[in-house]
Structure 1
Amino acid sequence: MRESAAERHDRLLALVRERGTARVSELAVRLGVSPVTARRDVEALAGRGLLERVHGQVSWPGGAERAAGHGGGPAAPGGGPVLGLLAPSATYYFAEVIRGAREAADRARARLILRISDYRPEEDRARTEGLLAAGAEGLLVAPGWRAPGDQAEHGEWIAGLPVPAVLLERRAEPGSALDGLDRVSSDHRHGVLLAVRHLVGLGHGAPLLVARADTPTALAVRAGYARALDVLGLAAPGPVVDSVPAEVEPEGFEAAVRALREAVASGAVTSALVHNDVDAIQMVQRLSELGVRVPDDLALIAYDDEVAALADIPLTAVAPPKRLVGRLATELLVEKLAAGGGRGGAAAGDGAEDAAADARRHVTLLPALRVRASCGAVAAETRSEPA
């Protein structure tokens, strides 16, 4: 199976994180790609604030001391806590989550260290143990769950962590051991409802859902779609179309495009919700080649709003508050550490401090809908619909 750009980006970030600083030519050799490809990847990651470029070299943002993900390391500047962040990826969706966490850590004078599971939930525990070995006093945990059963099979250990932990952009099953943990997440069901309601308000019937099934967000979008139809009293125009990455499974992607095209050609649908942005952009391009025009023949909304605005026809998109999720989760973790006595978390405080340390919070943030041209907007000007 050919490696995707996102997987290559994660390998590149891991190499820089291990070394602190690396030359682009060295990265090209280690990644097994051409210098041009390595340079393009570095530019893309630097543009998102995930790397810093200086005279042919790249480094981890904030200097090499931030890159330490193993073997301990110095305490945070200003005596703040050391925070560990486990993420399934450092690109696409989670790039903004990580950026928000880093901004909050900087404001708290905390040191943030990162480890990436690459959506391999069986490796989450070992990666987290590495963060603890590196001195993490509190943890932000976004497990690499992919399938519905991954939480039960690979997640129960999180409830027994020896330091305060906050689940990041993940929801625990009700009644599970993880349901008692602090968490900060986006309400994807609400995001889907915004999209469906908007399309119906434009005069369309229920949109057809085209979605992946390989991440918690994708599964939440699917669940939110069924709920939105129920809330609005709508019937699904057809079965959910299963989507896959075009660069990984081109035949599966083509099948998804043709299923959507047939639904439009038959008159069954005039609108669609597509998860995610990259799939949506590529589908619009392929649909055009097959004679289906967006938005004339098909009104389309993407889910994620990472690159939706950059499409030839700017895509209306549901935008989860990714950066805010990272920021608020980090602020919550810092608060928990401070209320629990700072480093080590064992010191007893007064009654108010004890209450703050013991309280658990489930913070849910609402996505916004960014309205652009792909759903039939009069102009490509972006506007946000209230949640």
Structure 2
Amino acid sequence: MRATAELRHRQILGLLRERPSLRVGDLAAELGVSAATARRDVEALAAAGLLDRVHGRVSRPRDDAAAPEAGPGADPPVVGMLLPVADYYYAEVIRGARAAAARAGVRLVLGISHYSPEADRVQLAALAESGAAGLLLTPSWPEGLPDAADERRILQLGLPAVLLERRAGPGTALAGLDRVCTAHNEGAGLAVRHLARLGRRRIGLLARSETPTARHLAGGYAAAMAALGLEPLVLDLPGPHARDATSDGQVVAEVRRAGLDAALVHTDEDALRLLQALHRHGLRVPDDLALVAYDDEVAALADVPLTAVAPPKRQLGETAVSLLLTRLGAPGGGAFGGACGEGGARRHLDLLPSLRVRVSCGDTPEPAGVPTPLREHVLS
């Protein structure tokens, strides 16, 4: 079913390369599907920023208007992008990559794995066969780390690649690739220090240990707690398929047993769920427990708007494209010192997240619409 949807998505984007806009009804007829199916496909592509949808019509994204023409009869260069999903965290990453690709006159092609290692293999092969000159890779590695087979699969493609929100082990072959990641350890430290400044001392980390982000958060959290002379208190949250009212109650009971007065919770959805469970069990936020969410996708929409650590998602996509274009020696990579081609030094970049202060910690929220400045840390 997913493969069929992915094929339709490629067909839709192909039609929009030929025509600037289409009615959704005409799109359904061209694809030979129902209007409801066409609308679902359009909604998914619009959420990923790959097309614009207004009043029953779809069109190329506005950013595409800034893309230079490739020349008469010439096809634009192709950059392949492998991601686990096209929504939630990664929708904004895609928008950033798409905007940077459009400015450089590059065509961005997506492969979505739905967190399936088997789908990773299928999508990597498809992206290579699409004629991609290079790849942006966020594979579905368990806990974010590749095994030997994963390494071989990527290296055997023989294509320049940039790891995006994934890190390979030091000294491995994949560690020799360019990469751009959020400095999640710094984000955890940012949250801990903010809570400590507010007088909280029993600060817990609540996260699902199997996620690729969790180990980086755990490292940053432990370092910040040690630097402040505080005892680390880590609670492992159940996975999304194991969550129900009973498990939520158990998490609240563990929070009480540990005597927590504050917590950093990954992800936003887990933080919202915890907030609701705390209220059901008679605990108040922020009076009894201050909360900081990690991701800042829906944290502001909570009943008690949640302070959150916000990774620079759009900048991640833009930076990954620039890194890859630099590696390819193509226009658009000038942010990293101009074209360097295959022989240039590899770059590992960490982009620092920001803290968005709201109500859930008990301090004064930032004025609406005032962004926290983005800082970038470059690792040599």
TM-score by length of 1: 0.78
Contact conserved, 1:159 with 1:181, CA < 8 A, in 2? no
| Contact 2:326/2:341, CA 8 A, preserved across alignment | no
| 1:50–1:95 Cα contact (<8 Å) kept | no
Deviations 1:8-45 (A, max 9, x none): 9x986664334447659979xx999x95x996896586
> Is 2:9 aligned against 1:16?
yes
Q: Which residue of 1 aligns with 2:19?
A: none
Question: 3-state DSSP class of the match of 1:313?
Answer: coil
CA displacement at 1:311 relative to structure 2: 1.6
The aligned counterpart of 1:86 is 82
The AA in structure 2 aligned to 1:323 is R
* Pairwise CA distance, 1:317: 0.5
What is the deviation of 1:140?
A: 0.8
Note the C-alpha offset of 1:226: 2.5
Pairing partner for 2:269 from 266, 271, 278 = 278
Secondary structure class of the residue paired with 2:114? coil
Deviation at 1:152, TM superposition (A): 4.1
Please give the alpha-carbon distance, in whole angstroms, between the structure 2 residues aligned to 1:363 and 1:183: 6
Whether the 8 Å contact between 1:272 and 1:300 is mirrored in structure 2 is yes
State whether residues 275 and 304 of structure 1, in contact with CA within 8 Å, keep that contact through their aligned partners in structure 2: yes
Equivalent-residue separation in structure 2 for 1:42 and 1:100 (angstroms): 19
Q: Which stretches in structure 1 are left out of the alignment for 5+ residues?
A: 1-6, 64-75, 343-351
TM alignment of 1:262-273, pairs within 5 A: 262-266=253-257, 268-273=259-264
**What are the superposed Cα offsets for residues 287-340 of structure 1, whole Å, 9 maximum, x if unpaired?**
21221111121100000011111222111001111110110110111122126x
Alignment match, 1:72:
none
Q: Secondary structure at the match of 1:209?
A: strand
Would the alpha carbon gap of residues 149 and 114 (structure 1) be closer, same or farther in structure 2, given more than 3 Å must change? Answer: closer
Question: CA contact under 8 A between 2:52 and 2:59: conserved in structure 1?
Answer: yes
Change (3 A) 1:45 1:89: same
Task: Give the 3 Å change call, closer, same or farther, for CA 332–380 of structure 1 in structure 2.
Answer: closer
Is the CA contact 1:264–1:298 (under 8 Å) kept in the aligned structure 2?
no
Rounded to whole Å, the distance in 1 between the matches of 2:267 and 2:342 is 38
163-172 vs 47-56, which moves further: 47-56
Report the equivalent of 2:356. 370
Q: Counterpart in 1 of 2:314? A: 323
CA apart distance, 1:144: 1.3
Counterpart of 1:196 in structure 2 is 192
CA contact (8 A) 2:202 2:259 kept: no
**Aligned-residue offset at 1:280:** 1.0
Q: Deviations over 1:203-260 (max 9, x none)?
A: 00141111123331233223332333233332123x4232322xx3333x742x3244
Task: Provide the secondary structure at the position in 2 that maps to 1:373.
Answer: coil
1:294 counterpart = 2:280: no
TM-score normalised according to structure 2 size? 0.79
RMSD, aligned α-carbons: 3.7
Aligned to 2:103: 107
Q: Which residue of the partner structure matches residue 126 of structure 2? A: 130
Q: Give aligned pairs, total.
A: 350
Give the whole-Å Cα distance in 2 for the aligned partners of 1:44 and 1:131. Answer: 20
- In the TM superposition, what whole-angstrom CA distance separates every residue of 1:323-358 from its partner, at most 9, and x where no partner exists? 10110110111122126xx9xxxxxxxxx9667742
> Is the CA contact (8 Å cut-off) linking 2:237 and 2:251 kept in structure 1?
no
Where 1:369 maps in the other structure, the secondary structure is strand
Q: Tell me what 1:49 maps to.
A: 49
The range that moved more, 99-108 or 278-287, is 278-287
Say which of 304, 327, 335 aligns to 1:336.
327
Give % identity: 48
Deviation at 1:286, TM superposition (A): 2.4
Q: Distance in 1 between matches of 2:198 and 2:190?
A: 12
